[in-house]
């Protein structure tokens, strides 16, 4: 007895579904199965399906190339106004000195904060300002010597003003708003205050240091001169080639 036509159509459709399922299993069948019996690790599928890859994988853009749809326009689009990098905190004050002086350092002056400030100061600032903030950094005398950070004028700067200078730069000093987070800049401000106090200690602080047996004679790092190491203040006081 021959099957009816509608039965033949149903059988053909069922075979087609089985074939499609077999192809899908074959496509996803290359898997990393567990190494032995009793393991419960899930198999890792090696087959991936990308949905609309052109939505997230754009064609590469060559520098100084033109738009293929508009030959009068560059292919590289300009950055829209107001665009900022991710995780970057903009500094909105500008050069508003009155508001800068009202800014208070949000970090407490504790030993961990001072150590962090010293680390970031020695990473970014020491090359110009020197280890004691006296302006004798590693660039001197090849480049212009910056003024000491413990000069009378700088001693009058507020914490907010120093923070703004680190953020926006000043003179030949570049801005560090992208290199240092706000908390790191505030830690540097605390460390600059510590360096200023070290340059102008109070008599009470000197007496306390003497009672504790502190000796600051070798506090200044030695430099390599033409005839060997130049210790202490002579590293910056002696002109090059004057050592015998």
Helix (H, G, I), strand (E, B) or coil at 160: helix
For the CA atoms of 101, 107, 111, 116, what is the dihedral angle to 10 degrees?
-90
- Residue appearing with tokens 């300009």: 78
Per the domain annotation, does 244 fall within a domain? Answer: no
Per the domain annotation, does 182 fall within a domain? Answer: yes
Q: What is the mean pLDDT of residues 43-69?
A: 73
Q: What is the pLDDT of residue 53?
A: 75
Query: Higher-confidence residue: 70 or 237?
Result: 70
Mean pLDDT score across all residues of the chain: 75
Query: Higher-confidence residue: 184 or 223?
Result: 184
Q: What is the mean pLDDT of residues 183-187?
A: 95
Query: Higher-confidence residue: 107 or 51?
Result: 107
Please tell me what DSSP assigns to residue 55. Answer: G
Total number of domains in the chain: 1
Per the domain annotation, does 152 fall within a domain? Answer: yes
Supply the pTM of this predicted model. 0.56
Residue 186 maps to which CATH number? Answer: 1.10.760.10
Please say whether the beta carbons of 182 and 89 come within 8 A. Answer: yes
Q: What is the mean pLDDT of residues 83-98?
A: 70
Q: What percent of the chain has pLDDT over 90?
A: 25
Per the domain annotation, does 126 fall within a domain? Answer: yes
Per the domain annotation, does 137 fall within a domain? Answer: yes
Per the domain annotation, does 81 fall within a domain? Answer: no
Helix (H, G, I), strand (E, B) or coil at 146: coil
Q: Say yes or no to pLDDT of 228 above 70.
A: no
Domain around 116:
105-200
- Going by C-alpha positions, the residue among 189, 102, 120 that lies closest to residue 149 is 189
Per the domain annotation, does 132 fall within a domain? Answer: yes
Per the domain annotation, does 119 fall within a domain? Answer: yes
């Amino acid at each position: 007895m021959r099957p009816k036509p509608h039965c033949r159509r149903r059988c053909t459709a069922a075979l087609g579904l089985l074939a499609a399922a077999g192809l899908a299993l074959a496509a996803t069948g290359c898997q990393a199965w567990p190494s032995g019996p009793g393991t419960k690790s899930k198999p890792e599928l090696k087959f991936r399906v990308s949905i609309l890859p052109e939505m997230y994988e754009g064609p590469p853009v060559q520098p100084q190339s033109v738009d293929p749809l508009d030959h009068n326009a560059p292919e590289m689009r300009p950055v829209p106004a107001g665009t900022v990098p991710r995780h970057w905190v903009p500094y909105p004050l500008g050069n508003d000195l009155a508001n800068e002086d009202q800014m208070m350092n949000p970090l407490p002056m504790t030993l961990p904060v001072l150590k962090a400030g010293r680390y970031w100061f020695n990473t970014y600032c020491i090359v110009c300002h020197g280890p004691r903030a006296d302006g004798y950094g590693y660039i001197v005398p090849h480049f212009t010597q910056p003024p000491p950070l413990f000069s009378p004028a700088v001693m009058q700067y507020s914490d907010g003003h120093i923070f703004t200078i680190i953020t926006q730069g000043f003179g030949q000093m570049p801005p560090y708003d992208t290199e240092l987070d706000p908390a790191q800049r505030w830690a540097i401000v605390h460390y600059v205050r510590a360096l200023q106090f070290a340059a102008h200690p109070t008599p009470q602080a000197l007496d306390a240091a003497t009672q504790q047996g502190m000796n600051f004679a070798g506090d200044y790092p030695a430099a390599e001169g033409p005839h060997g190491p130049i210790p202490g203040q002579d590293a910056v006081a002696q002109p090059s080639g004057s050592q015998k």
